[in-house]
Amino acid sequence: MSRSFTNPLCCLFLVLSLASLDATAEIRQLPEMDRLLSLSDVIVQCELIKVERIDDRTVEVVNDRANPAQSRTLPVRAYHAEALVYDVVKGSPQLPFHFDILVPTDREDGWLRPSKPYGLFFLERSVNGELTTFPEMPSFVSMPRGFTAVGKTPMDRLVSTFQQLLTLPGDRNANGSALEYLMFSQGKESNAVLRAALDTVRNFELQSDIANALLFQGDAFALKFVKQVFLSEPRLSLNGLQLLAMGNNLGRIRDPIAIRDLTDLLSAPASPVRSGAARALGQTASPQAVQPLAKALDDPDAEVRYWGVVGLAEITGQGEWRPTDSAFKSDEHKYIEHWRTWLSPAGAKQR
């Protein structure tokens, strides 16, 4: 089966398939931490001491809170929960603490079955004043007991909670849950936590996942780890999902300050890494990336050569020489020869 060079869904799927996650699991909803923080009236760590099934119902979900007219209906299973609160991230929960849990009918609710599940709940206040989970977004994060949020603002307190989970030794489930929330956040606080964790954690698989999360955010800070893995001795190895995710996420880098590191990664032994580096070089839109991209034209991997051609076309403004992946596959020689001629001394004289 041939690979598509420009499938935008590939990056998203691979980044959701980090090594810490079960690749056989159901497709998961994205954990929108920033949106959850903004919309939640109450965020607490609590233990469910009593859960009762209420009914099946249909709820209205507003896709855009700024435009309530854009809504949809969602069938859910409704539960009523009584809980003991151990820590407050946002809001002022009233005691005794009760809320409703709304689980979409196409989602698993097995996490409710263990005795006294414990974790972080994101809750909104309904029109009748009752607290409920968000049926359209993951609203529960399972976590061990014993963590206390730190900080003056809800964002600081939430990020500090995920920071403790991310760096918790020996608990890859907790690490993975925290990483999912932090990586999809656009806040500088989340990015700072990921950067600090990349330098401090000692588990190589977790470091690789954190580097992938930073690359997904377009942060060149992770390149020092990528170079250590692929260009230093002794060579470290990633599993297949991590490697493919890293190659795809490298392509999200756009900062010209990364050109030197990306150029070095064109010599990496793994073709997905070289491909991601070539793609990122083109996206820097910097003339300083032209010579590194010229090197990509001679790569043994067709995908690396493709991104070399695309990057040169975009940086030089020669849109007519930017092929689609199918056009490149059908007549690669034409595009490669054009750019070799353009880059030659004779071509430079004609420019």
Residue 60 has a pLDDT of 86
Q: Is the pLDDT of residue 8 over 60?
A: no
What phi-psi label fits residue 265: left (phi over 0), alpha (psi between -120 and 50 degrees) or beta? alpha
Residue 10: band (very low, low, confident or very high) from pLDDT cuts 50, 70, 90 = very low
Name the residue among 251, 256, 249, 252 with its Cα closest to residue 315. 256
Nearest 5 degrees, angle CA 194-CA 87-CA 60? Answer: 80
CA distances from 164 to 138, 146, 179, 219, 297 (A): 20, 10, 11, 22, 45
Q: Which of 31-40, 190-199, 202-211 has the highest mean pLDDT?
A: 190-199
- Residue listed under structure tokens 């490298």: 250
Residue 303 scores a pLDDT above 80: yes
* 148 vs 155: CA distance, rounded Å: 14
pLDDT at 27: 42
Domain annotation for the chain: domains and CATH numbers: 1-27+218-351 (1.25.10.10), 31-61+72-142 (2.40.50), 151-214 (no CATH)
Cα→Cα distances 304→15, 289, 297, Å: 20, 14, 7
Three-class DSSP category at 189: helix
pLDDT digits (tens, 9 = 90+) for 171-200: 999 999 999 999 999 999 999 999 999 999
Q: Are 49 and 83 in contact (CB under 8 A)?
A: yes
Instruction: Look at strands 118-125 and 71-90 and give their pairing.
Output: unpaired
User: Can you read off the two tokens belonging to residue 151?
Assistant: 């900080």
217-232 tens-digit pLDDT? 999 999 999 999 999 8
Question: Is pLDDT above 70 for 127?
Answer: yes
**What angle, 0 to 180 degrees and rounded to 10, lies between the N-to-C axes of helices 271-283 and 240-250?**
20
- pLDDT computed for residue 347 by the predictor: 66
Q: What pLDDT, on a 0 to 100 scale, did the predictor assign at position 128?
A: 87
Give the mean model confidence (pLDDT) for residues 132-139.
91
Q: What is the dihedral of CA 267, 273, 276, 280, to 10 degrees?
A: -50
The whole-number pLDDT of residue 349 equals 62
Q: Which of 57-66, 156-165, 182-191, 298-307 is least confident?
A: 57-66
User: Which residues does 161 contact at the CB level (< 8 Å), separation at least 6?
Assistant: 45, 87, 89, 120, 143, 147, 149
d(CA 238, CA 316): 35
Q: What is the average per-residue pLDDT within 144-152?
A: 94
pLDDT at 47: 95
pLDDT tier at 17, thresholds 50, 70, 90: very low
Q: Is residue 301 over pLDDT 90? A: yes
- pLDDT (0 to 100) of residue 9: 32
When pLDDT is cut at 50, 70 and 90, the band that residue 66 belongs to is low
128's tokens: 């009748």
